[in-house]
Amino acid sequence: MPTYSVSDALELDVGTQLASRTSSLLRAVRGHAIGFAAGLGWAAFGLSCLWRDDIGDWSRTQEVAIAGFAIGGAIALAAAVGLWSRAVGGAVQRRAPWLLLIGLLLAAWEVVTAKLGLLPQPFFPPPQAIVEVYTDDLPKLVESVFASVKLQLGGYLIGAAVGFVTGVSIGWSRAVGYWVHPVLRFIGPLPATAWLPIAFFAFPSSWSASTFLIALATGFPVTVLTWSGVASVSSAYYDVARTLGAKPSFLVFKVAIPAALPHVFVGLFMGLGASFAVLVVAEMMGVKSGLGWYLQWAQGWAAYANMYAALLVMSLLCSGAITALFKVRDRLLVWQKGVVKW
Amino acid sequence: MVSAAALKPQPQAAGAALDVVDVSHHFDIDGAALPVLDHVTLSAAPGEFVALLGPSGCGKSTLLRLVAGLEPPRAGRLLEDGRVIAGPHPSRVVVFQDPTLFPWRTVWKNVALGLEAQGIIKSERHRVDAALAMVGLSGFSNAYPHQLSGGMAQRVSLARALVNDPDILVLDEPLGKLDSLTRLSMQTEIVSLWQRQGFTTLLVTHDVEEALFLAQRVVVFSERPAKLKADIQVDRPYPRHRGDPHLADLRRQILGLLGLDATW
């Protein structure tokens, strides 16, 4: 489609020119329509909050409505800026379909819970109830987040370190392999949660018991993958290093370990997933703090909004942890071609 | 391509004498002994360029592994300047058929490998730069191996060997997997590196022309277990000409020894 017509170029007729200018503006707006639609979607969410009185007693409906309008306005503003700025326009257009969907889903959620009560209460709290948790129960949530992160980080780091060292030792030394391999085969596949009752008896505190279990859940995949990584290093690398004068320590630290790193990261990734499960179960069963405990506690009080709020935080934390792991991997494995994007 | 630093004479780089005395070797495969070398005796004078020719799988590469010290021989002795070869040493460096660069290291760090393994990299960094200049890859220090072409990767692996100032350079079909043009230009480069550095060179190849173009002596092996079949002097000055009628004669003679005379 030509952008300039003959009449444009010759300025024959002011009317035609004006019409073509309006149509080009329209075209530009149409290109960014999805951005404006996303703004409207969030505005619809705001409206849905104000549409009629809540069927229950929720104190944050007004604020949530304002937030909905504010976010909708911000999206629309960004879409408008996108008409001139290519960078902003691209960023808005990439996110707009998701933003639109989220706005509409929030509006629908608001209507079927707080306004029409189509979903049974209190099991399906409306958005404002969850926002209320974040504003009114924040200290306890933050405390739980810190407790969970502390427990998870401690257990994971211990498990990853022990698993890595064990894996390298089995992969490198026949003698270590002889003794450790059968134990690994026997104990490794057992779900770490199966140890829970024993661990809580055997360890002096529920915190140390949980740390042990998380370390166990992390350690097994890290050990196995590190070991298979070290074992699969091509002997040609060792030959090259040896002819160049490498000593055994050089072969371990400068050949075997770097060559095995891609495998190690698969193990770290699998271990992370397994350790999340153990963390939550341990917190539900014995530890008196953390997000798992918060979930359990909220359920005991039938505080379903608190459960959803905690679940949301938990998923952000787990996803953040995996993103962080992938970032570390991308830094360390820049030499690999085409690593998977998280 | 060659910098001034690389052209400076290297004091340590004088070739060593190599003696292979009555060496036999076999592999154990499922309990059965598979003989690969049968009473091989051969020697190379300091700075000599010797090519080992033989049918595929005859045991030439095994002989190189023994020379490198990667494995001990089952019988016989290998001597470097009269001393028994007991294990790998950076004075005898191997360039393998595959470049086997470490993919997690940059080109520069790959070349630095030997100096790093010997713990002298801190004071000898300039040798890495010189070796890279010698093979014409100064601009690729920070590249990773997966970014290199086959010929460039093999050049890096050559630089990784040369940086150690080897007394004996062991080449195990280093050009076998390269395209024919890259191969021809690298043959010329190997000759000039050898002339400049003066190391003793042992080249395994199954390319008769390559052996005749490069080496002062061509040793022909039999089928496995490898036995010495002929030891031929290639009495021609460098740079050699590929169409030299004397080389063509030798080529016909060697192909005959390898059982291929009917084709030529």
Whether residues A245 and B118 touch (CB distance < 8 A) is answered with yes
Whether residues A240 and B100 touch (CB distance < 8 A) is answered with yes
For residues A89 and A188, state if they share a domain.
Answer: no
Domain boundary among A72, A88, A121: A121
Q: How many CA atoms lie within 13 A of B256 on its CB side?
A: 7
pLDDT of B107 reads 92
Q: How many residues does chain B have?
A: 264
pLDDT digits (tens, 9 = 90+) for A239-274: 999 999 888 899 999 999 999 999 999 999 999 999
Does residue A240 sit at the B interface (CB-CB below 8 Å)? yes
Instruction: Give backbone dihedrals phi and psi of A162, rounded to 5 degrees, phi first.
Output: -65, -45
pLDDT range class, residue A4, cuts 50, 70, 90: very low
Q: What CA–CA distance (Å, rounded) separates B64 from B171?
A: 8
pLDDT range class, residue A7, cuts 50, 70, 90: very low
Q: Is residue A106 part of a domain?
A: yes
pLDDT of B2 reads 44
For residues A185 and A41, state if they share a domain.
Answer: no
Whether residues B100 and A244 touch (CB distance < 8 A) is answered with no
Beta-bridge partner residues of B44 = B18
Q: Is the pLDDT of residue B3 over 80?
A: no
pLDDT of B13 reads 47
Q: What CA–CA distance (Å, rounded) separates A79 from B110?
A: 50
Residue B31's alpha-carbon distances to B26, B58, B72, in angstroms, are 12, 20, 19
Please tell me the distance in Å from A260's CA to the nearest CA on chain B: 10
Q: Is the pLDDT of residue B8 over 70?
A: no
Beta-bridge partner residues of B172 = B204
Does an H or E element contain B21, and which? Answer: strand B18-29
CATH architecture group of domain B14-209: 3-Layer(aba) Sandwich (3.40)
Does residue A232 sit at the B interface (CB-CB below 8 Å)? no
Instruction: With CA atoms as reference, report the closest residue to A163 among A42, A292, A4, A269.
Output: A269
Asked if residue B255 lies in contact with residue B207, where contact means CB atoms within 8 angstroms, the answer is no
Instruction: With CA atoms as reference, report the closest residue to B131 among B155, B159, B107, B168.
Output: B159
Q: Is the pLDDT of residue A13 over 60?
A: no
Does residue A1 sit at the B interface (CB-CB below 8 Å)? no
pLDDT digits (tens, 9 = 90+) for A216-243: 999 999 999 999 999 999 989 999 999 9
Instruction: Give backbone dihedrals phi and psi of B21, rounded to 5 degrees, phi first.
Output: -115, 110
For residues A293 and A147, state if they share a domain.
Answer: yes
Asked if residue B23 lies in contact with residue B77, where contact means CB atoms within 8 angstroms, the answer is yes
Please tell me the distance in Å from A249's CA to the nearest CA on chain B: 10
pLDDT range class, residue A15, cuts 50, 70, 90: low
For residues A163 and A234, state if they share a domain.
Answer: yes
Burial of A43 (0-12, 13-18, 19+ CB in 10 A): buried
Q: Is the pLDDT of residue A275 over 70?
A: yes
Asked if residue B225 lies in contact with residue B35, where contact means CB atoms within 8 angstroms, the answer is yes
Q: What CA–CA distance (Å, rounded) separates B47 from B198?
A: 5
For residues A94 and A157, state if they share a domain.
Answer: no
Instruction: With CA atoms as reference, report the closest residue to B155 among B118, B90, B111, B213.
Output: B111
Q: What is the DSSP letter of B263?
A: G
Instruction: With CA atoms as reference, report the closest residue to A105 among A171, A48, A27, A26.
Output: A48
Which are the contacts of A192, defined by CB distance < 8 A and separation ≥ 6?
A213, A214, A216, A217, A220, A274, A278
Size of interface A-B (CB pairs under 8 A): 71
| Chain B neighbors of A244, CB-CB under 8 A | 90, 93, 113-114, 117-118, 160, 164
Q: Where are the domains of chain B?
A: 14-209
| The total number of structural domains that make up chain A | 2
pLDDT range class, residue B1, cuts 50, 70, 90: very low
Least CB-CB distance to A243: which of B68, B105, B144?
B68
pLDDT of A83 reads 86
Q: Is the pLDDT of residue A192 over 60?
A: yes
For residues A325 and A274, state if they share a domain.
Answer: yes
Asked if residue A48 lies in contact with residue A107, where contact means CB atoms within 8 angstroms, the answer is yes
Segment among A49-63, B148-162, B224-238 with least mean pLDDT: B224-238
Instruction: With CA atoms as reference, report the closest residue to B168 among B23, B37, B38, B66.
Output: B66
Q: Is residue A108 part of a domain?
A: yes
Asked if residue A223 lies in contact with residue A189, where contact means CB atoms within 8 angstroms, the answer is no
Query: A237 to chain B: nearest residue by CA?
Result: B100
Residue of higher predicted confidence among A17 and B145: B145
Whether residues A336 and B103 touch (CB distance < 8 A) is answered with yes
pLDDT of A228 reads 92
Asked if residue B12 lies in contact with residue B168, where contact means CB atoms within 8 angstroms, the answer is no
Q: Is B264 helix (H, G, I), strand (E, B) or coil?
A: coil
For residues A88 and A232, state if they share a domain.
Answer: no
For residues A108 and A143, state if they share a domain.
Answer: no
pLDDT of B5 reads 44
For residues A192 and A292, state if they share a domain.
Answer: yes
Instruction: Give backbone dihedrals phi and psi of B19, rounded to 5 degrees, phi first.
Output: -125, 125
Q: What is the DSSP letter of B127?
A: H
Instruction: Give backbone dihedrals phi and psi of B23, rounded to 5 degrees, phi first.
Output: -90, 130
A173 is written with which tokens? 């030394």
Asked if residue A151 lies in contact with residue A206, where contact means CB atoms within 8 angstroms, the answer is no
Q: What CA–CA distance (Å, rounded) separates B246 from A16?
A: 88
Asked if residue B154 lies in contact with residue B174, where contact means CB atoms within 8 angstroms, the answer is yes
Q: Is residue A27 part of a domain?
A: no
The type of residue at A237 is: Y
pLDDT range class, residue A150, cuts 50, 70, 90: very high
| Chain A neighbors of B117, CB-CB under 8 A | 241, 244-247, 250, 254
Q: Is the pLDDT of residue A42 over 80?
A: yes
Asked if residue B210 lies in contact with residue B175, where contact means CB atoms within 8 angstroms, the answer is yes
pLDDT digits (tens, 9 = 90+) for B87-109: 888 888 899 888 899 999 999 99
Q: Is the pLDDT of residue A6 over 70?
A: no
For residues A110 and A163, state if they share a domain.
Answer: no
Segment among A89-98, A149-158, B15-24, B157-166 with least mean pLDDT: B15-24
For residues A51 and A192, state if they share a domain.
Answer: no
Give the 3-state secondary structure of chain A: CCCCCHHHHHCCCHHHHHHHHHHHHHHHHHHCHHHHHHHHHHHHHHHHHHCCCCCCCCCCHHHHHHHHHHHHHHHHHHHHHCCCCHHHHHHHHHHHHHHHHHHHHHHHHHHHHHHCCCCCCCCCCCHHHHHHHHHHCHHHHHHHHHHHHHHHHHHHHHHHHHHHHHHHHHHHCHHHHHHHHHHHHHHCCCCHHHHHHHHHHHCCCHHHHHHHHHHHHHHHHHHHHHHHHHHCCCHHHHHHHHHCCCCHHHHHHHHHHHHHHHHHHHHHHHHHHHHHHHHHHHHHHCCCCCHHHHHHHHHHCCCHHHHHHHHHHHHHHHHHHHHHHHHHHHHHCCCCCCCCCC
pLDDT range class, residue A2, cuts 50, 70, 90: very low
For residues A44 and A148, state if they share a domain.
Answer: no
- CATH code, domain with A272: 1.10.3720.10
CB count within 10 Å of CB B217 equals 18
Least CB-CB distance to A236: which of B96, B114, B145?
B96
pLDDT range class, residue B261, cuts 50, 70, 90: low
Give percent of chain B above pLDDT 90: 8
Tell me which residue range forms the domain holding A145.
138-332
Q: Is residue A170 part of a domain?
A: yes
Please enumerate residues of B whose Cβ is less than 8 A from a Cβ of A.
65, 68-70, 88-90, 92-94, 96, 98, 100, 102-105, 113-114, 116-118, 144-146, 160, 164
pLDDT digits (tens, 9 = 90+) for A128-140: 888 988 988 889 9
pLDDT digits (tens, 9 = 90+) for A288-325: 888 999 999 988 888 898 999 999 999 999 999 999 99
pLDDT of A338 reads 52
Does residue A129 sit at the B interface (CB-CB below 8 Å)? no
Whether residues A243 and B92 touch (CB distance < 8 A) is answered with yes
Mean pLDDT of the region A88-109: 91
